[in-house]
Structure 1
Amino acid sequence: MKKIIIAIDGFSSCGKSTMAKDLAKEIGYIYIDSGAMYRAVTLYCLQHGMFNADGSIQEETLKQQMKDIHISFQLDPASQRPATYLNGKNVEEEIRTIEVSSHVSPIATLGFVREEMVRQQQAMGKEKGIVMDGRDIGTAVFPHAELKIFVTASAQIRAERRYKELKEKGQDVSFEEILKNIEDRDRIDQSREISPLRKADDALLLDNSHMSIAEQKEWLKEQFNKATHE
């Protein structure tokens, strides 16, 4: 069976990462969470005081320090799931907070950040056999990926899922704040100048608003089998 690149794009809080991780584990591929890479850069900026009081980013400072930001993915021994590492430290939990979520979009719009992240992502995909999810994987990072999926769901449903997830982790969050964050990110992601969020012409559309995890898994496996046997 030939190895391929699977690109899963879509809106925030659609469950892209979960489905991509599960698929990668099932088929024995490497999982790369591109969104986590931008979240890791955002966390680095928060840790190093690079955000101004008005929420803007100190671009020149970040540009100078991009060479010091190294992101990798390693299997967590406890959960047996891939975790995001920033400069050798597991930051999987830290990058999922609402603070990081509310700061990540301005970081992801910076051309020099995207350029470096795409360079790292393309290096990870040279041998194929990877599943990567994000906003521009099928359009900018791997335009020639053999299987492209674009995931969507209503903002209300995505906010409900995110709210439940964060509450289960013990975080004190507001549903209204999460919904606003999702709507803001949708607007920024779709309107940014560099690699805006959009469905690739050859991507398969998956609206999972009313699908169970099991139904999504079955659908994805079916598309994978078609793509690897063509």
Structure 2
Amino acid sequence: MTTDASKGRLVIAVDGPAASGKGTLARRLAAHYAMPYLDTGLLYRMVARAVLEAGHDIRDAEAAGAIVSTFDESAFAEDSLRGREIGEAASVVAAMPAVRSGLIARQRRFAAQSGGAVLDGRDIGTVICPQARAKLFVTATPEVRAARRHKELAGRGEAATFEGILADIRRRDARDSGRSDAPLKAADDAVILDTSALTIEEAVAKAIAIVDARRAG
């Protein structure tokens, strides 16, 4: 289990559903505190990409379980891990207990760095770093999140409708929250940060205030 409080090391756990803004906030927090940052969602996307490139069905839990312990994180170009299709595939493999358990050690090693770390994902505050000193659960309404994702995909030239993206987000929310292993939920000691009506700068300022309060108290 990752611990940091006893030695004063700061670990910041940022959880939340898809397109809530957690990745943006986590990156900004890492820059603000000069700490290493891990987007744990990319690990699941790597597993999904490896499963697909090996010719397996994305729902093949046995194949995914075999791949999770051997894949090379440096072998994937980040561009190949972005996009709507791979995001859906990642959500499927993330519901597999063998995949989640296989990635725990990688995430905890990152969090155990002497200078602390910032991690974002779905179960950082509940499973990966339950002793993290600062925990945020970042959320927004499904409609706001769909609008953000639609804008992001349009900026990359990907064709997608708002209605289709909203349906994807609701489906992913149900899958992430309903899985038996490490379901998406706020840790009991996490601070809820709803970004629905906030600009990026407003959300960052609130996130920094939350972390500073945890560091002080």
TM-score (norm. length: structure 2): 0.91
Q: Find out whether 1:188 has 2:194 as its counterpart.
A: no
One-letter code aligned to 2:150: Y
Q: Name 2:185's counterpart in structure 1.
A: 198
Give the CA deviation at 1:64.
Answer: 2.6
Q: Name 1:59's counterpart in structure 2.
A: 61
Give the CA deviation at 1:133.
Answer: 0.6
Structural mapping, 1:12-23, within 5 Å: 12-23=18-29
1:21-51 Cα shifts (integer Å, max 9, x gaps): 1110121011011111111111111211211
CA distance in 2, matches of 1:90, 1:61: 18
One-letter code aligned to 1:210: A
CA distance in 2, matches of 1:91, 1:17: 18
Q: Find out whether 1:112 has 2:98 as its counterpart.
A: yes
Q: Percent identity?
A: 34
Q: Is the 8 A contact 1:122 1:141 kept in 2?
A: yes
CA distance in 2, matches of 1:15, 1:89: 27
Residues paired across the two proteins, number: 210
Q: Find out whether 1:228 has 2:177 as its counterpart.
A: no
In proportion to residue count, which structure has more helix?
2
Secondary structure, aligned partner of 1:121: helix
Q: Is the 8 A contact 2:15 2:137 kept in 1?
A: yes
Q: Is the 8 A contact 1:40 1:91 kept in 2?
A: no
Q: Give the RMSD, CA atoms, in angstroms.
A: 1.6
One-letter code aligned to 2:173: D
Q: Find out whether 1:156 has 2:143 as its counterpart.
A: yes
CA distance in 2, matches of 1:175, 1:3: 42
Secondary structure, aligned partner of 2:78: coil
Q: Where do 4+ consecutive residues of structure 1 move more than 4 Å?
A: none
CA distance in 2, matches of 1:135, 1:67: 20
Q: 1:70 is matched with which residue: 69, 72, 81?
A: 72
Q: Is the 8 A contact 1:159 1:178 kept in 2?
A: yes
Q: Is the 8 A contact 2:50 2:67 kept in 1?
A: no
Secondary structure, aligned partner of 1:8: strand
Q: Name 1:207's counterpart in structure 2.
A: 194
CA distance in 1, matches of 2:154, 2:14: 26
Give the CA deviation at 1:169.
Answer: 1.1
CA distance in 1, matches of 2:18, 2:86: 13
CA distance in 1, matches of 2:84, 2:18: 13
Q: Is the 8 A contact 2:30 2:37 kept in 1?
A: yes
Give the CA deviation at 1:2.
Answer: 4.1
One-letter code aligned to 2:154: K
Deviates more, 1:2-11 or 1:158-167: 2-11
TM-score (norm. length: structure 1): 0.86
Q: Is the 8 A contact 1:3 1:228 kept in 2?
A: no
One-letter code aligned to 1:122: R
Counterparts in 2 of 1:105 and 1:90: CA distance versus 1, 3 Å: closer
Q: Name 2:36's counterpart in structure 1.
A: 30
Secondary structure, aligned partner of 2:169: helix
